[in-house]
Structure 1
């Protein structure tokens, strides 16, 4: 039975509700409030790399961040876009037409699970991946290398932590109207302030957006509402309540295209970048996510504090889709299979932290003790027309003359059905000490995790359960020395782990896949903070990957796989003049499969370019007729990647140009202070580029996209 779409508000109704909400708060707010504005992140904010207030430049590991001003200046519309200029991150791995997930890798290792305000966005491993819209973010923080010491189960390449907008005491409301290519229409509101003369501050973020997808016949539609409230109970106690609601009635496509005709030659010609190999009658993706959270920050005294950060999530997603079969000998007729998924997830995560400072001899200790718990309960129903005989029950499509009206969903015959519950639990206990000894900063930490997972199959009628129970201990150690001239060399070692499901053919349960990284680097920040750079060298080894058992059946696995990623990152930001700033980055990465039983040893995994470089230049005009104008331009270079795991061919490198022009309307009138207009063009010259999983599954990169925004502040 087809899932019923969630009830949604019309754009007009949504905008009215948001506006009324902010007006109601504003009426209670004192416009003559002269209190100093709270910090952007609030008292409950913790640095991603340490869960403390230690600055990234004083942390002995590579960290990159993208702040709100940069997100706005570059016209960022998704987390994937926010990562485009971050070194060692290769983003938008499924091309420009697939926008329903933020898929990227960090230092070569794919990460499907982001963090939101320090807590994981629980992902069931299928198609229900929570996705935070960029409108709700204050900053995007990328922590490079293993992070399991603080966050538990996570790949060794690193993590992305999305910092939410928080309530501020100073009254401000932004309303932004958006239009542009792909018939884009959007409206957003961001309102914050103190409620009258109380100890309450609020923030309401809301957005509606609709556009045509890059792929033919597809559409994208989204509704977001993210209110939050700070209650300053006393000088020492802050309680934050936060909600994030997102409804995606339509989220574009998820299908791929054959390599022949896209990245590879085809005697019939070249495919268009808007090609859709699915069917308009069988292309649905509806997702609804509700998250309810709270934070309690209590300062016992000037040295010791407690933070409790918790969130509950209820989400569902329904999908109707097709995937590619074999491309016929005529190189234009593509076999297809139809499938559907119906998924629900409920999760609860909580992180409790006690932090304190004390001195021993000449050293200052900043101690962190933590306990966290993660729980996910998910139900997944999967149906597929594939009968595994090599034939298809779905009409093929001519990729050079596609007919998108061939599938009748009511007549599909599903030959395979899977229906199961997935339950996981993770408990972690961690400790960390930051020692400040003169110019030295030393960090040492350890964490123990207990991970349990149960998968119960209902399709067979027997409710067969498969259980997983694994534990792991990880640690990290790092040191950094701050010279008086701003230079800070550092070195660190860190470990990671990921649970591995299953057993070998002898009945022995698999152990977690582990990773370790050695990193050394040099950081610099000038006294006036106008110049900074970070150079880091890293070597990551991931062990216990599953490979085929050479003495068993094709389905038997053993844990003998190993992958190594090593390279260099350079990231620099500088004010060239009073009205010009520059951000540059470069990454060299050498990633290989170092141990394998299936012929992959010595091969480079897909989606890993050896070279990547970015440049972004901003020019601010303060005088003359164009005063108030900011012009920004960026260049992104991504080197060649492998077309498949066997490295049978390569996906070409590409260079893209982005452009941003904004104008501060306060130069026209003081009454327009905080208001602006902007036009942002990504892939300005419409360069065609590609991404591939294998020769039968490739994606076109994002086409040229020009967006205009008009923001009013009051």
Structure 2
């Protein structure tokens, strides 16, 4: 007698798994089993978030517009910085540098890490994703819950944490415009009550614009302490260096019809112009469960951020022809050094 069965199950709406069981049974013979498992489809759904409620909640059960970009989505899109992810966020578009427009409202400051203030990539720097586990986006006026008055929304970066699960990764990156980078990440248990994480990241790239390049260096890690069955202390550090050459890009001159007056690679900055960032972030998170209904979750975050920059800013046309009118016919632009 021969028979076979095929079963398909959807688990939690996150993905699908299937198993096929083929059995051959005859009188007096042992049963032979063959089992095949695999992933039928991948979804990027994470229904749990702390954004908007500041407590673990299901997105479908809170009256807010929240979108979560998971670590799997970041990896599958090979996203290196936050600008690579804006296309995946509904109602959000890139404004300039790392600035965004939420539902038509520009927002550069309403940025959180692990639910608290302290953005190391403030100003004209571009947030890197090496130390980011996932990105949570709260859209609409509900962002005022976090003290800001921006009606468009807010972004919360959830940083990567130490774990007892052992993992060792080494990544090498290459691409156009002389892109070259490498990173490593180690995590695992030190003892039964302590776990660690260490990560190092380096990446450098030129640009299609003249006198523009970038260099990113980051060291991140921390330690996790299980202080009891109901208490957990997590400490992390993040050291960031970002060197952007000629990064204050102000566009390319065009005429009244929108035609380029110069090559698209034009840059008002000189080769020696720069924007350098150095930041140090220290963070501690303590969680304690008193009972099933009462939990303490406190985060202390320290941030030191220093930025130095020097660049040229395009100002106005110069009357080179001496006709008393400064316009595109003069083909010379005045610059201001800042």
Same fold (TM over 0.5): yes
Matched, 1:228 2:222: yes
Matched residue SS, 2:130: helix
Higher relative contact order (CA 8 A, sep 6+): 1
Q: Per-residue deviation at 1:308?
A: 0.9
Preserved CA contact (<8 Å) 2:143 2:154: no
Q: CA 1:187–1:294 in structure 2 vs 1: closer, same or farther (change >3 Å)?
A: same
TM-score by length of 1: 0.38
The aligned length equals: 281
Instruction: Tell me what 2:178 maps to.
Output: 183
The change in CA–CA distance for 1:131 and 1:180 in structure 2 (over 3 A counts) is closer
Residue matched to 1:288:
278
> Does the CA-based 8 Å contact 1:227-1:242 persist in structure 2?
yes
Gaps in structure 1 of 5+ consecutive residues? 1-44, 95-100, 340-714
Per-residue deviation, 1:72: 1.1
Deviation at 1:154, TM superposition (A): 4.0
Question: How many angstroms apart in 1 are the aligned matches of 2:157 and 2:113?
Answer: 5
CA change 1:309–1:291 in 2 (3 A) is same
Give the match's secondary structure for 2:73: helix
SS of equivalent to 2:335:
strand
Displacement of 1:252: 4.5
In 1: Cα distance, 2:126 partner to 2:169 partner: 23
Q: Report the equivalent of 2:247.
A: 253
- Report whether the alignment pairs 1:314 with 2:313: no
Q: TM-score, normalised by structure 2?
A: 0.77
Cα distance in 2 for partners of 1:236, 1:299 equals: 5
Local SS of the residue matching 2:249: coil
Matched residue of 1:84: which SS?
helix
1:110-125 equivalences in 2 (<5 Å): 110-113=106-109, 114-122=111-119
Q: 1:166 to 1:277 in 2, by over 3 A?
A: same
What residue in structure 2 maps to residue 300 of structure 1?
Answer: 290
Partner of 1:140: 135
1:153 to 134, 148, 153: 148
Q: In the alignment, which residue of structure 2 is the partner of 1:166? A: 161
Which of residues 50, 57, 60 in structure 2 aligns to 1:54?
57
Gaps of 5+ in 2: 1-47, 318-325
Superimposed CA distance per residue, residues 78-124 of structure 1 (whole angstroms, 9 cap, x where no aligned partner): 11221222110011x23xxxxxx411111111111211111123589
- 1:236/1:150 Cα in 2 relative to 1: closer, same or farther (>3 Å)? farther
Matched with 1:597 is: none
- Measured at CA, do residues 161 and 222 of structure 1 come closer, stay the same or move farther in structure 2, by a change above 3 Å? same
Distance change in 2, residues 1:306/1:287 (3 Å): same
Provide the rounded CA distance (Å) in 1 between the counterparts of 2:165 and 2:246.
38
- For the residues of structure 2 that align with 1:63 and 1:251, how far apart are their CA atoms? 35
Alpha-carbon distance in structure 2 between the residues aligned to 1:164 and 1:148: 20
Q: Is the 8 A contact 2:162 2:223 kept in 1?
A: yes
- The corresponding residue for 1:574 is none
Query: Deviations along 1:358-411, whole A, 9 cap, x unmatched?
Result: xxxxxxxxxxxxxxxxxxxxxxxxxxxxxxxxxxxxxxxxxxxxxxxxxxxxxx
